[in-house]
Amino acid sequence: MKEKDVSYQIPKIPVPVQFVGVSKIEIPLLYIFQKKKFLIYPSFELFVDLPFNMRGINASRNYQVLDNMIKKYQGKQIRVEDLCSYMATELLRVHEYSQHSLVKFKSSITLPKITPVSSLTNLFTYTIKGYVHSEKRGKKIYITKRSLKLTALGMNACPCAQETIRTIYAKKFLKNRNNEILKFINTTHLQRVEASLELILNSSKPFPNFYFFIDILESSFSSKIYHLLKRFDEAEVIIKAVNNPKFTEDVLRDIVFNFWIKSKNKKFNNSDKINVSVISFESIHPHNLIAKSSFTIDELKRIFSKLDY
């Protein structure tokens, strides 16, 4: 007797499912970046849509697509977002009933970072996320949207507390507000900051490398932070921060501006988009402060065309 495939049964309630698939599939990958090898452990999620007249997907096909990707690309020089593009396309080849696929990934990547005074090498970890969406049009499969997001940590010095302390100092110790003296009064509170930059592309144009994202984010903080700091490194990081105080909103605006400056020669499409988020883990408050903004490339062009940059 031939086994009945219940996946192809008509469901009792004929409602389509937009995305269904497998998640939290973690695999080790040898990632080659700037001629250096890194071992990363990305977690993948693979989804397809399901029509109203099918009860369930053939779930094993999702894992088979991932397994084929490992066999095809393991140890080769390829970007993780390109692996997702491969899987998004293959999902629609093996799921003949589906019209859309979505592949997500999340991973950490550890890259070298040099301390400012002692020039010691740190290994610093960043979080990367992304997704690829594909669509079937007739017999052809198209990649319609791709995303790459990197998250970095830094440090901020509060400009409001700094200015208030200068005012208090001036009232207590100076007859007149002497800005030449007060500029050396840099006391304020510091907090660790987490910032993310996501780039969403509507074309097959390759993403910039990770350092494009890292440089934009870390140059937007009051100061970078490090795992390993000798005493003079630590002093340099703090001095840089208090001499470069920023609100959470300042960091977000600097990220947007730094992206604009660094992307001028990238020739992104007008419909491509960035999402920016900044979280300040407040040191003197029990709450956090969050800022978020999104812009298309066309919107950035209109914003910065009005400014003298």
The tokens 């020739």 sit on which residue? 267
Whole-angstrom CA distances from 178 to 165, 166, 174, 184, 243 are 14, 10, 7, 11, 18
For the segment 116-130, what is each residue's pLDDT rounded down to a tens digit? 999 999 889 999 999
3-state class (DSSP) for residue 220: coil
| Closest alpha carbon to 100 in 59, 23, 138, 48 | 48
The string over 249-281, giving b where at least 16 C-beta atoms fall within 10 Å of a residue's C-beta and e elsewhere, is ebbbbbbbbbbbeebeeeebeeebbbebbbbbe
For the segment 164-210, what is each residue's pLDDT rounded down to a tens digit? 888 887 777 776 666 666 667 788 999 999 999 999 999 888 899 88
Q: Which amino acid is at 20?
A: V
What is the model's pLDDT at position 2? 60
Asked if 57 and 95 touch (Cβ cutoff 8 Å), the reply is yes
d(CA 108, CA 128): 6
Helix ranges, the chain (H): 60-73, 80-94, 159-173, 179-182, 210-218, 231-242, 248-262, 297-305
The domains found in the chain, sorted by start residue, are 1-110 (3.10.270.10), 115-123+145-309 (3.10.270.10)
What is the model's pLDDT at position 241? 93
Q: Is the pLDDT of residue 86 over 90?
A: yes
- Predicted TM-score (pTM) of this structure: 0.90
Q: What is the mean pLDDT of the chain?
A: 90
pLDDT band at 306 (very low <50, low <70, confident <90, very high): confident
Asked if 177 and 120 touch (Cβ cutoff 8 Å), the reply is no
HEC string of 77-117? CCCHHHHHHHHHHHHHHHCCCCCEEEEEEEEEEEEEEECCC
